[in-house]
Every structure is written in C-alpha cells, then in structure tokens.
C-alpha cells in the first residue's frame, strides 16, 4: 500500500510489518500521522483523538499493530498490563498515567485491557476500570494518547468506550479472502514447499483463522516434513497439520491416511458416513462452486463420524440462509436416498437447518409478516405457528436437496467412493472428480 505524504513528512515503513488488513492500515497510518505531525491538524482547529481501542479475538495482530503505531508516532510509550495483584495493579495504572503526563507528548498503552479485572460484562464497575476511566479523564488536554487492546470488548464498561475516552474503536477480525492469502503467502515464503502447493488453496482451507493459527499450522507442516526427512513440504504435510491441530483428528489416524500403505483406511470407513459427507459436499459445490476445502470421514467428537469443511460464504441475505439449510440437509438426504432409511448423522445438522428456518420466518418474514417475531406478541400460539412453519419450510428444502442429489447422482457416488478409499479428500481431488462428472447446478 502506498500512502502520499506532503513535503517534510516521513514514510511509515514500520507498517510493512503488518501483512494484509489494508483498509485498517490506512486508518492506523492516519492516527500515527496525527500523533507524529500534530501541528497541521491543530492549524485546522480540529480536536486530536484522545484514544484508540483495537479489539478482536486472540492472535489477529492487535499488539503488533499497536507497537507499529507507537514506533511511527515517535512518542515514548508507557505500557500497562495485568501482571500484579489487584491492589498493586491499581497503583500501577495510576503511575503509568502519571509517568506519561510527565513525558508528554506520549502514549499510554493498555495491553489486554479486558483482563484488567476478573469480572465479565455483568461486572462493569470493577475498580480497575473505574481507575482507568478516571485517569483518562484527568489527562485531558495534556497531550497523552491512550492506546489499548482487548480480546472481548463485552467485558469492558460502555462508559469507558464512549467518545472522549476512546474516540476510535476498531475491530480486528480474523483474516479472510485477500488478507488471508497475503498472510499465507508471507509465511510460506520462508518455507520449502513443493511448487504445486498453492498459497491460494492453503488460504482457502484456513479462511477465518487467526494470523497466529496461520503461522503455526504452516510451521507445523514443516515439522511433519522434517520428521519424515522429506526434502520439501507437501500438501499432505499441510493437511495433516491442519486436521490435527485445528480439527483435533488423532495423529495415528492421520498417519494411516497419509501412509504409503492406505489399505487399512479402506476397511474402516462406513459407506453411510461417506455418503453423508458426500451429500454435504455435493450440495455445497452446486450452490457455491469451489467452496469445499476438504472432506474428512473422521472427527474428534465422534470416531464414527466425519465433517465437511466449507470456506466462508460472503453472500448476505435470504439466499445465504437458504443455502445454509440446503447444505445442512445434504448429508441426511444423501443417506436417505442411497440406503432408504433415516440418517442419525450429526444432530447439529438438523439444529442448524431449523435455526436458519426460524431466522427466515421470524426475522426475514419469508412466509408473511404475521409470523414476524415482535415484542407485542410473544404468545405460545405465535410460537407454535412459527415452529410449524419452520418444520414445513425445512421439509420443503429437504425435498429440493434430494432432487438436486438425484440429478447429480454420478457426482455424489464418485465423491462417496473417494471418501471410502481415501478417508480424507482435498479440494484438488474434488476438482478432479468434478471434471469427470456432468454437473447440473440448476437441477431444481
């Protein structure tokens, strides 16, 4: 990303340490420029932001972003994190602000601020937060900028987050799409992967995972390769690292799957499990081609079950919700169609389908406004009508799914057969299967 600066200003090269997150980087660069070059802003008569809070799940790079802001601001920073007993920690908070005022212009960095108190959203008046709030109010007009990070913003009192204390609040989400691809490419550069391991495929498999997870899994793949004394890191090494470390599939199972002798795998996979996962896969691929990242006949929760990994669907609205219902019902419908009996499958599939159907009926009003959830009618009679409508809608979707599977039975059979033979099927293998089949995406 290139940012234009006026004469006399310096480029902020430290931001090159942050991979991806281009839109967020632009905002952080602006804040850093305000802190480093405050006079042009004062000349315009504008008020300088008093604080910035970066929040998001662990491992997404909040502390790195904060450290880059501190470096590019040119200001001295005073860091405060929970590393003392409660009584001493209160004193430490006050001292941090006092020291920052004495060294102004400066920055107070409150790292993992949501961990300052042991409470939760039901305890917003913890002494630690009251102290932080008081200290922020006391430094008004003293050229001290307050920078903070938090994993769970819900643990912080709303009064602390208001404008005038933290004027900017930015959520840092786990990387997806282009951001995930850039981060994966960065971490893969220093590793010796075989040329056919495509960063785009790896990024799609890890879509929505934190930066820390991306780095760890890519490194784990290298550790597996090193243990095998392999000259290069293969896709099998990456799959093994991903399935074991993220999805908790036992390593002995993965060693069997990826061993040169795979005959032991063929004898243990139930055809019902294979068709169940194939059903999810076929419906997902028909509705959103290329969305399935891999299929596993194994699961950490149930040694007799499996799961299908589908990348994030960025679509919004009722289309996405209906697609979620169709994919959820795909496994059950495939077993029903192939074996002529109900599929116990994964109870979570049905729960997800009904949850989505309720969402469509109660909030999206797809079956009329008379079923809309509202505070004026919370009667048992309305709930009964909503439940009946949801059951009818799920039944309707189930029939559609079965029709789609019947029209694409060749694709379904070949996917199920590959699952039976391999146990775990990658997106590359799935693409090969699709090329050999006649796909009818608009079967319904």
CATH number at residue 23: 3.40.50.300
Same domain, 67 and 209: no
Under-50 pLDDT residues of the chain: 1-5, 7-8, 266
Split into its structural domains, the chain has a count of 3
Same domain, 122 and 192: no
Cis peptide before 105 (omega within 30 of 0): yes
Final residue in a domain of this structure, among 134, 149, 171: 171
- On whether residue 257 sits in a domain, the answer given is no
- On whether residue 252 sits in a domain, the answer given is no
- On whether residue 303 sits in a domain, the answer given is yes
- In this prediction, residue 304 carries a pLDDT of 64
- The enclosing domain of 189 has a CATH number of 1.10.8.60
Same domain, 86 and 187: no
Same domain, 159 and 303: no
Same domain, 71 and 140: yes
- On whether residue 3 sits in a domain, the answer given is no
Same domain, 159 and 185: no
Final residue in a domain of this structure, among 152, 171, 190: 171
Same domain, 361 and 233: no
Cβ distance 151 to 112 under 8 Å? yes
- In this prediction, residue 91 carries a pLDDT of 93
Same domain, 334 and 426: yes
- On whether residue 4 sits in a domain, the answer given is no
Final residue in a domain of this structure, among 113, 137, 171: 171
- On whether residue 7 sits in a domain, the answer given is no
- The enclosing domain of 321 has a CATH number of 1.20.58.760
Same domain, 278 and 363: yes
Same domain, 185 and 160: no
- The parent domain of residue 226 ranges over 177-246
Cβ distance 313 to 323 under 8 Å? yes
Same domain, 141 and 242: no
- On whether residue 90 sits in a domain, the answer given is yes
- On whether residue 254 sits in a domain, the answer given is no
- In this prediction, residue 8 carries a pLDDT of 47
- In this prediction, residue 44 carries a pLDDT of 93
Same domain, 157 and 26: yes
- In this prediction, residue 163 carries a pLDDT of 84
């Amino acid at each position: 990303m290139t940012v234009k600066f006026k004469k006399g200003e310096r480029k902020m090269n430290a931001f090159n340490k942050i991979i991806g997150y281009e839109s967020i980087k632009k905002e952080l660069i602006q804040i850093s420029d305000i802190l480093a070059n405050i006079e042009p802003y004062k000349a315009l008569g504008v008020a300088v932001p008093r604080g910035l809070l970066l929040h998001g799940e662990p491992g997404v790079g909040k502390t790195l972003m904060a450290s880059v802001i501190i470096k590019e601001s040119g200001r001295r920073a005073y860091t405060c994190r929970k590393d003392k007993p409660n009584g001493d920690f209160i004193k430490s908070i006050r001292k941090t602000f006092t020291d920052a005022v004495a060294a102004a212009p400066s920055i107070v960095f409150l790292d993992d601020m949501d961990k300052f108190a042991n409470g939760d959203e039901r305890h917003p008046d913890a002494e630690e937060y009251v102290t932080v709030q008081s200290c922020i109010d006391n430094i008004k007009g003293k050229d001290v900028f307050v920078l903070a990070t938090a994993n769970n913003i819900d643990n912080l009192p709303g009064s602390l987050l208001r404008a005038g204390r933290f004027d900017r609040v930015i959520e840092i989400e786990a990387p997806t799409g282009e951001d995930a691809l850039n981060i994966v490419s960065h971490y893969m550069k220093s590793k010796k992967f075989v040329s056919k391991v495509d960063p785009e495929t790896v990024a799609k498999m890890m879509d929505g995972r934190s930066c820390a997870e991306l780095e760890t899994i890519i490194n784990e793949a290298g550790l597996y390769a090193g243990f095998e004394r392999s000259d290069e890191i293969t896709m099998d090494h990456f799959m093994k690292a991903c399935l074991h470390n993220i999805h908790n599939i036992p390593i002995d199972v993965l060693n069997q799957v990826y061993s040169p002798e795979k005959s032991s795998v063929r004898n243990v996979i139930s055809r019902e499990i294979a068709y169940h996962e194939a059903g999810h896969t076929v419906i997902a691929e028909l509705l959103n081609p290329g969305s399935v990242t891999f299929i596993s006949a194994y699961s950490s929760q149930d040694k007799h079950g499996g799961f299908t990994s589908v990348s994030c669907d960025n679509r919004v609205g009722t289309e996405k919700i209906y697609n979620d219902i169709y994919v959820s019902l795909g496994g059950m419908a495939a077993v029903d169609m192939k074996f002529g009996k109900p599929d116990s499958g994964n109870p979570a599939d049905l729960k997800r389908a009904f949850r989505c159907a309720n969402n469509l009926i109660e909030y999206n009003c797809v079956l009329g406004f008379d079923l809309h959830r509202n505070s004026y009618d919370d009667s048992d009679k309305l709930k009964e009508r909503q439940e009946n409508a949801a059951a009818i809608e799920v039944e309707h979707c189930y029939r559609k799914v079965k029709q789609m599977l019947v029209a694409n039975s060749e694709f379904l059979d070949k996917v199920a057969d590959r699952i039976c033979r391999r146990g775990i099927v990658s997106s590359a293998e799935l693409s090969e299967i699709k090329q050999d089949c006649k796909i009818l995406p608009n079967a319904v």
